[in-house]
Amino acid sequence: MDCITLEKKVTAANYDPLPVVLRDAKGVWATDTQGRRYLDMMSAYSAVSLGHAHPRILKAMAEQAAKLAVTSRAYHTELLGPFLEKLVQVTGLDMALPMNTGAEAVETAIKAARRWGYRFKKVPKDRAEIIVAEDNFHGRTTTIVGFSSDASYREDFGPFAGGFKLVPFGNVQAIADAITENTCAVLIEPIQGEAGIVVPPEGYLRELRALCDRYNVLLILDEVQSGLGRTGRWFAHQHEDIRPDGLILGKALGGGVYPVSAFVGTRELMSVFDPGSHGSTFGGNALAARIGLEALAVIEEERLVERSAEMGDYLLARLREMRSNIVKEVRGRGLWVGVEVDTSVVSARAVCDALLAHGVLSKDTHGTVLRFAPPLTISREEIDWGMERIERVFARAIH
């Protein structure tokens, strides 16, 4: 039985993968079981921002795994403090709470925001409200899908928790109109990823920061995908020179080899947690802390933020120069680009399949947008290699 058939036989069908079986990968290249190489233009939704099998990450992982991996937070380790110290340093915030997955970090942020609302803003018990954006994607837990505007994420998974208000993304006035005395937080992605790499209007985050300050509302940003260099800055909100009250991180924090996430916030916000109020068996374990610390060091010392800005400008320019009747819009920031296709001609999934046949790994979202998010280590020559094939695929649609 071949790998794809076996996987379909024993795996719940919650994904619809492209028809390729990957065997190994290094840097920006992956190889399938037939020995064919592919340029990875997805990097596992930013989880592999440092590239596959980064030697420094693998070395740190092997050394730490052989020494001490998991003890739970029932005990101290010599690594958690240094890891979170570095994390608060690069974020410009005060304290952090380590978790495993991005969704867990979002759940942590929701709990923190609600408790802050009750203890600091004095919102009446069980009346706290959080404003979120339409077309958001913050994870797959039942709480999170409960405030999704995508019906397919919600279907037959209810009943859902209340306390969330949906407003259009990129519209500050809509948020202002939604704020009440019970509003404790605004939770948004500074750039919407799953929605199709949607960049809000210039000044949106600055205006939102001012609005939250005016009404004593927390501004919590989900930068699980956009953070840690993806957009050409350490964090996407830095393009508008603001400081959130809470920041949700994950994916690239694990160096492409291990699930590591964190919720980082101001001292006041993080003070709402006390022993027993939140936890995770694996969250903040020694192996995760060592990998996370090394991932931050690699991003900084190899100047991957600067590289993302430079290579991102180049990739965006090349994509915008393409001649194709199926391209409706090219948008993005740094090495994070969405190409919206004309679905009256072809679906984005069909374009993904064609790119796969030409040795380029990508993934569509909602059948309308093709995403390009290569490892931040990608070179100009590797972009050129990929663009030659991308242009070839898109040019075939010209009539």
The ranges assigned to domains in the chain are 3-53+303-395, 55-301
Answer yes or no: 263 catalytic.
no
The backbone torsions φ and ψ at residue 363, rounded to the nearest 5 degrees and listed phi first, read: -155, 140
Decide which of 3.10.150.10, 3.20.20.80, 3.40.50.300, 3.90.1150.10 is the CATH code for 3-53+303-395: 3.90.1150.10
**Active-site residue (options: 137, 147, 169, 394):** 137
| Domain 55-301 grouped into CATH 3.40.640.10 | yes
Residue 94's alpha-carbon distances to 19, 84, 166, 268, in angstroms, are 45, 10, 29, 9
**Active-site residue (options: 40, 164, 169, 222):** 222
The helix (run of H) or strand (run of E) holding residue 332 is strand 327-332
**Active-site residue (options: 147, 169, 251, 363):** 251
- Comparing 3-53+303-395 with 55-301, is the CATH topology the same? no
Q: What is the pTM of this model?
A: 0.97
Q: Walk along the chain (399 residues) and give the pLDDT tens digit of each residue.
A: 799 999 999 999 999 999 999 999 999 999 999 999 999 999 999 999 999 999 999 999 999 999 999 999 999 999 999 999 999 999 999 999 999 999 999 999 999 999 999 999 999 999 999 999 999 999 999 999 999 999 999 999 999 999 999 999 999 999 999 999 999 999 999 999 999 999 999 999 999 999 999 999 999 999 999 999 999 999 999 999 999 999 999 999 999 999 999 999 999 999 999 999 999 999 999 999 999 999 999 999 999 999 999 999 999 999 999 989 999 999 999 999 999 999 999 999 999 999 999 999 999 998 899 999 999 999 999 999 999 999 999 987 543
Measured distance CA(294)–CA(310) in Å, rounded: 23
Answer yes or no: 40 catalytic.
no
